[in-house]
Amino acid sequence: YSLENINIKINFGSRIAFVGKTGSGKSTTANQLLCLLRPTSGKILLDGNVLKKNNIVDWQSLCSYVPQSINLLNADFIKNVAYGLEENEINVSKVWKSLVTAQLEDLINTLPNGIRTNIGENGVRLSGGQRQRIAIARAFYRESKLLVLDEATSALDTKTESKLIEAINSLDKKLTIIFVAHRITTVKNCDCIYEFENGKIKAYGSYSDLIKNSDSFKEITKKDSF
């Protein structure tokens, strides 16, 4: 089994982190929560109610997933953020607000056509970090209830990542966020951190709890990465 005896409670509006080495089960657990994968045993409960097969589409409509690898349109910032909507359905001011929260304001202000600038095939005219931030802005625009960031800031420099995490953490507590993280600095302020190893949860708690009680977590913090 990829996962074994995973038992996680996530409070509405909380900031949760999954940490651990590659292949430890972090992304698989996130995919289970999003119902991109289905468990062979066990259940997912929402407010104590079992998430049934016929409710999965409704659940997924409330979720946003930002992976490390992003697919973008050969179009402007507006169409990439309001992905899948017809032009007459798009709220441009809401797109701009989402881009600002995703720390793209400075970039867009340097472009002659602003948010109407075409970013090229799959964002070829942008850096890796800028492409990741467009995907994050897309999730903000949807006003999801659950946001999963699966190493979605891996291409950012430390300063930009810090600003983005600060902006994310200041968002409305109606949004529950799960960070699948590769840097300790990303997860320091999370309500609960789950440390994965070989498909199991090795330890969990706040950052200060894990520093006190988990020797492996202490070792990770010395390197600031997994």
Sign of CA dihedral 31, 37, 42, 48: positive
In this structure, of 25-39, 162-176, 206-220, the range with the lowest mean pLDDT score is 162-176
- Write phi, then psi, for 66 (nearest 5 degrees): -115, 105
pLDDT at position 99 is 94
Total H helices, total E strands in the chain:
10, 8
Tokens of 64: 């946003």
Q: Which residue matches tokens 């600095």? A: 185
Residues whose CB is less than 8 angstroms from the CB of residue 193 and which lie 6 or more positions away in sequence, other chains included:
16, 17, 18, 19, 187, 204, 205, 206, 207, 210, 217
Please list, in sequence order, all residues whose beta carbon lies within 8 angstroms of the beta carbon of residue 123, skipping any fewer than 6 positions away. Answer: 70, 72, 80, 130, 131, 134
**Is the pLDDT confidence value at 108 over 90?**
yes
| Average pLDDT for 150-155 | 75
Question: Which pLDDT does position 222 carry in this prediction?
Answer: 67
Give the span between the Cα atoms of 157 and 134, in whole angstroms: 16
User: Which phi and psi angles does 49 have, rounded to 5°?
Assistant: -100, 135
Mean model confidence pLDDT for the chain: 88
pLDDT at 118 over 70: yes
Between the CA of residue 40 and those of 3, 5, 43, 139, 157, what are the distances in Å? Answer: 10, 12, 9, 29, 39
Query: What is the percent of the chain with per-residue pLDDT over 90, rounded to a whole number?
Result: 51
DSSP 3-state of 35: coil
Residues paired with residue 159 on neighbouring β-strands, in sequence order: none
Q: What is the mean pLDDT of residues 196-201?
A: 93
160: left (phi over 0), alpha (psi -120 to 50) or beta: alpha
Instruction: Give the mean model confidence (pLDDT) for residues 210-219.
Output: 80
DSSP state of 203: E
